[in-house]
Amino acid sequence: MLEDRILRELEGIVGPAHLLVQPEDVLVYEQDGYVLSRSLPDAVVLPGSTEEVAAVVRVAREHRVPVVPRGAGTGLAGGAIPVGGGIVLVLTRMNHILEIDPRGRLAVVEAGVINADLNAAVAPYDLFFAPDPGSQAASTIGGNIANNAGGPHCLAYGVTTNHVLGVEVVLADGSVVWLGGKTLESPGYDLTGLLVGSEGTLGIVTKAVVRLMRKAEGARTLLAIFPGVDQASQAVSDTIAAGIIPTAMEMLDAMTLRIVEEAVHAGYPLDAGAVLLIEVEATLEILDRLIGQIEGFCRSNGAREIRTATNEGERALLWKGRKEAFGALGRYMSSLYLADTVVPRHALPEVMREIAGIGERYGIPIANFFHAGDGNLHPTLLFDGRSPEAWERVVAAGEEIMRVCIEAGGTITGEHGVGIEKQEYMSWMYSEADLQAMKKVKEAFDPHGLLNPGKIFPTGKKAAHLLQKTTTGIRPVSGELWT
């Protein structure tokens, strides 16, 4: 609970309408898209400008109060959960597109601009912002930057860090600096790159200069239908090994296909073992040749049919099914735990078999829809959240999936960040010396540890400690375990 004098200072900065302290108001901000933990903030502040963000951070620093920046709350790793209480700083009011420069192919935006809104604004110039996470209809550019978000098209275009030229940042002492800018290259340390993916632990991004891409001359969307995941995975591996990089190669397995088709009616086959949703963009001169080569790899790996979207409506519907897969699964089961990990493309068939085996051993249905082209997996565990025993099985199964992916030469996250979900797994990838070097960077930017504390670095507590048994079953623990 914050002292009244601190609350008065905060109210003086943002006004009473943008300071939330009542339990029924702050309850909304105890959790993001991560289902295994929640923690109540002491206060929620909704600033309307960089100056207000800086003033709030100065108050927090003076009184040693943690500050957790938050966008739309769509993150799936618990990065916006205030594990130590304190202030949740919500940037969604800062939602203005400040500049669009078609000739320079860049835009200047505030952190609260929604990803899809930016794309709608630049579409008349035949430009687009390439990162397209599944939550892009709600996720903010600031959140994209915090987690280095990707999406289906990152196979060809890269993730968020490849499309951010500069950021305005409020540092832990309340000062405001610009890192990078409107030029493609800046001398000295790449501090912009350091901030992208730092999950709000080094500074609070309030504005960004983002790179825009020119739409390709030609584009086609294919749906390749396979008898199983193994064959579809091998088609992906063969295509990339041949030096062909489609714009996107997305896979949906049989379970996901059936559930999504029932909800979205995208035209997905109900009897397929898996499909690849493939998009190819190129000049008209080479588009047919690329499509022919990709179709060849699909057919040689057992694709029984390859459909081509004949118009924009069909293309949009195919992508709608993929983009809304997570929501469709939510109609099928009360609780979902979506993992985020990456494996080498050549390891896809074996890893997918091992994930299926984990689901069978724990009695948990696992649906798979993921960025197959770059090996970014999203196995989604479906379970009844009212069952205490189910929560325990989900945590154990999720940890096994992470182990399998690491042992295959992969990593613990592709685009969702570390947050609290995967912080204990960091030691699986990094030595203690590596982690200490990272902590020194954190200490240089945030010497008092007030910016999004309790994230990224291991604490020594296993994931199972996220769950707390109560008289009504198991619910995620409060932040007190993390202080």
Q: Is the pLDDT assigned to residue 467 strictly greater than 90?
A: no
What distance in Å separates the CA atoms of residue 144 and residue 155, rounded to the nearest whole number?
16
Q: Is the pLDDT assigned to residue 78 strictly greater than 90?
A: yes
Share of the chain above pLDDT 70, in %: 95
Q: Is the pLDDT assigned to residue 334 strictly greater than 90?
A: no
Predicted pLDDT of residue 465: 41
Tell me the pLDDT tens digit for each residue of 27-47.
999 999 998 889 999 999 999
Q: Which residue has the tokens 């700083």?
A: 89
Q: What are the chain's domains?
A: 4-92+461-482 (3.30.43.10), 97-214 (3.30.465.10), 218-327 (3.30.70.2190)
> 184 or 405, which is more confident?
405
Predicted pLDDT of residue 482: 28
Tell me the pLDDT tens digit for each residue of 242-301.
999 999 999 999 999 999 999 999 999 999 999 999 999 999 999 999 999 999 999 999
**Antiparallel, parallel or unpaired: β 43-45 and 87-90:** parallel
Work out the number of other CB atoms within 10 angstroms of the CB of residue 265: 11
Q: Is the pLDDT assigned to residue 351 strictly greater than 90?
A: yes
Predicted pLDDT of residue 474: 38
Share of the chain above pLDDT 90, in %: 90
pTM exceeding 0.75: yes
CB of 44 within 8 A of CB of 90? yes
Residue 168, C-beta contacts closer than 8 angstroms, at least 6 positions apart: 50, 176, 177, 178, 205, 206, 207, 208
CB of 110 within 8 A of CB of 48? no
Predicted pLDDT of residue 1: 84
**Antiparallel, parallel or unpaired: β 164-170 and 204-211:** antiparallel
Average pLDDT, the chain: 93
Instruction: Report, as an integer, the average pLDDT of 348-374.
Output: 95
Predicted pLDDT of residue 462: 61
Q: Is the pLDDT assigned to residue 472 strictly greater than 70?
A: no
Predicted pLDDT of residue 470: 32
Q: Distance of alpha carbon 211 from its chain centroid, rounded? A: 19
Residue 405, C-beta contacts closer than 8 angstroms, at least 6 positions apart: 341, 342, 343, 351, 377, 411, 412
Tell me the pLDDT tens digit for each residue of 401-447.
999 999 999 999 999 999 999 999 999 999 999 999 999 999 999 99
Q: Is the pLDDT assigned to residue 463 strictly greater than 60?
A: no
Instruction: Report, as an integer, the average pLDDT of 186-207.
Output: 96
To the nearest 10°, report the CA torsion of 87, 91, 92, 95: 160
